Structure 1
Amino acid sequence: MSTAVVLINLGTPDSPTPPAIKRYLAEFLSDQRVVNLPRAAWKPILHGIILKTRPKRLQHDYKNIWGTHDGPIRNITNALTARVEAYFSKRYPDRKLKFYTAMTYGNPSVKSIIETAEEDGCDDFLFVPLYPQYAGATTGAVFDQISRAFQSMPVASHRFIRDYHDHPRYIHALAKTLERYNPAIRDGAHVLFSFHGIPMSQVNQGDLYPAQCEKTAASVAHAVGLGKDQWSMSYQSKFGPGAWLTPATIDQMAAFPTQGVSDLIVMCPGFSVDCLETIEEIKVENKDVFLAAGGQRFRYVRALNASKFHVDLMVALIESSLYSHELRS
């Protein structure tokens, strides 16, 4: 038996051009997990307004973050997968493991990677969504993609890592990444943990996401030794007119200077790799708001990306799942 280990991230356009951005947004925003509105009401808005205007507006932002050949999500996730694969190849040379990167939206799709893995001789799958906190709009959407893929092909043995919001290796990785800012924190800098927001309609349906975000933030703050007045948390990237989780990160940027916060450190623990929402939204747009409101210094803590800490976390999650599966087999 060969096992395919599939690391799955959100996705990205194929290029920083309006047509590619439009294709990506059309797939992403057509998922009812992402936008839970009646289709009859949502489709005219999506196709009549959003897809006609938003791709051109986003082109500048995507060009700013685009690398020589690809966007950061795919580049960094591929690098992370390669480093994890290198560890297992060296540590377990006789194990039949193959590693792949997939995207929930865009390329390479979850279905295409499942097909590729089966062509490579894999008959067992371990799916690792790179969303530390479970949300129906993210991890749930991955589960949907996997289920749909197996509807059109023989169902192989498969299992998932649901979340890892309080896994010791995850908290350790975040804490070690944040510790480099300890001198600034001792000098009075405030730490803001900014998570991607979700609509309140999903929270009211019982989504555990906000509770898991709160647990992550509190655990990292404790690990670093932050006092209750030294940190706070907020939610970013609101989309659409409905109510979302609060406080909003962008609102906090304007409020902090009036509350005596002049030195701000922002960490986004829910983003496994840096992307448009961290590189442009936080490091540029939110920074500008904070400084314009009277803030003096703004620092963004990079995501775990393909760091050794992130590799160690992935190794721990994968080893644990493989070991548990073998015990049950």
Structure 2
Amino acid sequence: MYFVRLVLPFFSHPQKNRSMSKTHVLIVNLGSPDDTSVPAVRRYLAEFLSDKRVVDLPRWQWWPILHGIILRTRPAKTAASYQQIWTATGSPLVVTTRKQAQLLGQRFVNDGVSVHYAMRYGNPSIGSVLNDIITDDCDHLLVFPLYPQYSRTTVETVRDKVTLELAKRSFHFSVDHIDSYYNNEGYIQAMADHIRNFQAQYEQPDKLIFSYHGIPKRYAENGDVYPQHCHETTRLLVEKLGLSPSQYLTTFQSRFGREEWLQPYTDETLKALAQKGDKIVHVLSPAFSADCLETLEELEVENRGYFEKNGGKIYRYIPALNDDERHIDVLESIIRQRLSTRNGNA
């Protein structure tokens, strides 16, 4: 696991008793539109796809594509996808992240630690939540992006946004960041138990597919360690589950545009498995701490279609850990470890 301390302006309060110090934890996930309307989805996609960490093309090259083509054509299709997964209480990702924050807050209620949640894109925004934290009694902020595997396109852009928003404000606390937990023992155990319980309820598959969100291959070639983290997560899970090489595959999903992304691709793999005779597959994504569009629609619906249309018989998506108690245990442990390290008690 990687921890990075971000050195930001810190102004002490000599009159404050350190025993009364207050820590705030901010968990962050990717985000979601405010609703399933086309305008809301367009606003969300505009913010997301304007991030230079997500699409690093020169702005003169990317802006005409984004504003002239993508934001004119893609929002309607994406809105229809969101409509398939939206719940009575809103976006599944936002609802689950809110629940995770509430459950974690209960774990720290006697520790002088408050837990908040924000979305990197959309609402609640990082800026609005930082406003709440700044107005409260705060000595230290721990930012925890809920991406198990580090990538510049996810974890690093959270740091960018927190730094940018804090630079606009006057604040008097130190800031730390958790970078990843792809190899955390508790996380691996919780995922392995989750898989075992799911398969005990259903059946053993011909193949277990570990599908991770993709990034352009060029990003990895330029030093993003994300694929290494993904493969290490798979290795540890396979070791814990006792799987042979013929029983599993690691794939990458959600590619966008014409550029080559990390391979093998999940959709193409599922088509090929069905065509060669595999009848039962189970698919999960260890890259997601909460179910969202990429899991509930892309993996559960779209990729099921690819497998079944090519001759596959049974396709099952294994849900994310979401607000499962074992998942909250893992997140609590990671937070406590970091705070203990900061306080010199580890």
Secondary structure at 2:94 match in 1: helix
- Equivalent AA in structure 1 for residue 44 of structure 2: Y
The 5 Å alignment of 1:1-329 reads: 1-89=21-109, 93=110, 95-154=111-170, 156-183=173-200, 187-327=204-344
Q: State the alpha-carbon separation in 2 of the partners of residues 147 and 13 from structure 1.
A: 23
Identify which range, 52-61 or 131-140, moves more after superposition.
Answer: 52-61
Q: Deviations over 1:156-213 (max 9, x none)?
A: 3010111000000110111011002445897553100000000011111111000000
Number of aligned positions between the proteins: 325
Structure 1 partner of 2:11 = none
Q: State the alpha-carbon separation in 1 of the partners of residues 260 and 182 from structure 2.
A: 24
Q: State the alpha-carbon separation in 2 of the partners of residues 29 and 41 from structure 1.
A: 13
Report the alpha carbon displacement of residue 248 of structure 1 after superposing the two structures with TM.
0.4
Q: Deviations over 1:46-73 (max 9, x none)?
A: 1111111111111111111111131011
- Equivalent AA in structure 2 for residue 22 of structure 1: R
- Equivalent AA in structure 1 for residue 129 of structure 2: I
Q: 1:63 to 1:182 in 2, by over 3 A?
A: closer
Q: State the alpha-carbon separation in 2 of the partners of residues 283 and 170 from structure 1.
A: 23
Q: State the alpha-carbon separation in 1 of the partners of residues 298 and 94 from structure 2.
A: 18
Identify which range, 153-162 or 230-239, moves more after superposition.
Answer: 153-162
Contiguous gaps of at least 5 residues in structure 1: none
Identify which range, 10-19 or 64-73, moves more after superposition.
Answer: 64-73
Q: Deviations over 1:70-120 (max 9, x none)?
A: 10110000001111111222xxx2x22111001111111112111111112
Whether the aligned pair in 1 keeps the contact of 2:205 and 2:281 (CA below 8 Å) is no
- Equivalent AA in structure 2 for residue 146 of structure 1: V
Q: State the alpha-carbon separation in 2 of the partners of residues 258 and 15 from structure 1.
A: 38
Q: 1:283 to 1:188 in 2, by over 3 A?
A: closer
Identify which range, 108-117 or 33-42, moves more after superposition.
Answer: 108-117
Q: Deviations over 1:12-36 (max 9, x none)?
A: 0000101110110000000000001
Secondary structure at 2:52 match in 1: coil
Give TM-score scaled by structure 2 length.
Answer: 0.91
Q: State the alpha-carbon separation in 2 of the partners of residues 244 and 206 from structure 1.
A: 14
Report the alpha carbon displacement of residue 124 of structure 1 after superposing the two structures with TM.
1.1
Secondary structure at 1:298 match in 2: strand
Q: 1:238 to 1:162 in 2, by over 3 A?
A: same
Identity fraction in percent:
37
Report the alpha carbon displacement of residue 147 of structure 1 after superposing the two structures with TM.
1.1
Give TM-score scaled by structure 1 length.
Answer: 0.96
Q: State the alpha-carbon separation in 2 of the partners of residues 123 and 234 from structure 1.
A: 42
Whether the aligned pair in 1 keeps the contact of 2:209 and 2:248 (CA below 8 Å) is yes
Secondary structure at 1:5 match in 2: strand
Q: 1:115 to 1:234 in 2, by over 3 A?
A: same
Secondary structure at 2:153 match in 1: coil
Q: 1:256 to 1:111 in 2, by over 3 A?
A: same
